[in-house]
Amino acid sequence: SYELTQDPAVSVALGQTVRITCQGVNLRNYYATWYQQKPGQAPILVMYGRNTRPSGIPDRFSGSDSGGTPSLTITGAQAEDEADYYCSTRDSSNNSPRAVFGGGTRLTVL
Amino acid sequence: QVQLQESGPGLVKPSGTLSLTCDVSGYSITSDNWWTWIRQPPGKGLEWIGEIYRSGSTHYHPSLRGRVAISMDKFKNQFSLTLNSVTAADTALYYCARPIFGDNSWYFDLWGRGTLVIVSS
């Protein structure tokens, strides 16, 4: 079965760059996708595909798959970026496909 | 503007049945899309529950198979979740969402606001 692993917590100084990684994604199948969730709110999509931001997501967010490990990078982190971030992909390895989520990374902006 | 809205009882007794509905507005659920349920236990991460296609085809999380069913009502433009034999472990915020395939990735571009279901006697 498929499991995605994320660091439980990461911190970044205001204005600095932070990278959040997602281990376990089989990039031969699908790219990872990334969601931001703030307290009391539903998740919102911040990155999908090779490096595609939905409309309204600031360009300080970028995605990559360096060395086969998907990551979400925030260049010049802002206070409003403090949130939980989840990676996700689709497991189509058997006859019953399903979506899989990482355990989430809590980002603290110092 | 496409919107998803979950509804259903917020309290279910142990061993009972959880039933939720997701109303979709601004978009036909008979379009070429899957429709998904996702849940999040308090203080924990996201867990995919299952999905349904316009044909009625479904996929479910292996750990829930046998207890879960997702159905759709094309006339009401809504889809539903039923989870049987619930326990406290099923206490969670339940979201409905729309998955999209694009740029070689599957992503959830639309989410409901979520509805909290507590399993307790």
Percent of chain B with pLDDT over 90: 95
- What is the tens place of the pLDDT at every residue in B2-43? 999 999 999 999 999 999 999 999 999 999 889 999 999 999
Say if CB A92 and CB B53 are below 8 A apart: no
pLDDT score of A96: 82
In terms of CA atoms, which chain B residue is nearest residue A55? B109
Mean pLDDT of chain B: 96
Q: Do B106 and A52 touch (CB under 8 A)?
A: no
A·B CB contacts under 8 A: 74
Name the token pair of B39: 């849940």
pLDDT for res B57: 95
Across the range B42-54, mean pLDDT stands at: 96
Q: Which of A20, A101, A105, A106 to mutate to test the interface with B (most CBs of B within 10 A)?
A: A101
- Outline where DSSP puts E strands in B28-119: 34-40, 47-53, 58-60, 68-73, 78-83, 92-102, 105-111, 115-119
> Exposed (0-12), middle (13-18) or buried (19+): which is B57, by Cβ within 10 Å?
exposed
| Candidates A33, A45, A100; nearest CB to B48 | A100
Give residue B61's pLDDT band: very low, low, confident or very high (50, 70, 90).
very high
* pLDDT of the residue at A1: 58
Q: What's the pLDDT score for residue A27? A: 64
State residue A66's pLDDT score.
Answer: 80
What per-residue confidence (pLDDT) applies to B29?
95
Residues B72-89 have a mean pLDDT of 97
Contact yes or no for A33 and B59 at CB 8 A: no
pLDDT at B88 over 90: yes
> What confidence score (pLDDT) does residue A95 get?
78
> Mean pLDDT in runs of 10 for chain A (110 residues)?
88 97 81 96 96 96 89 97 96 85 97
Chain B positions in Cβ-Cβ contact with residue A101 (cut-off 8 Å): 45-48
Q: CA A63, CA A83: separation in Å to the nearest integer?
A: 17
**Residue A96 DSSP one-character state:** S
> What average pLDDT does range B48-74 have in this prediction?
95
Q: What is the mean pLDDT of residues B49-73?
A: 95
With cut-offs at 50, 70 and 90, classify the pLDDT of residue B56.
very high
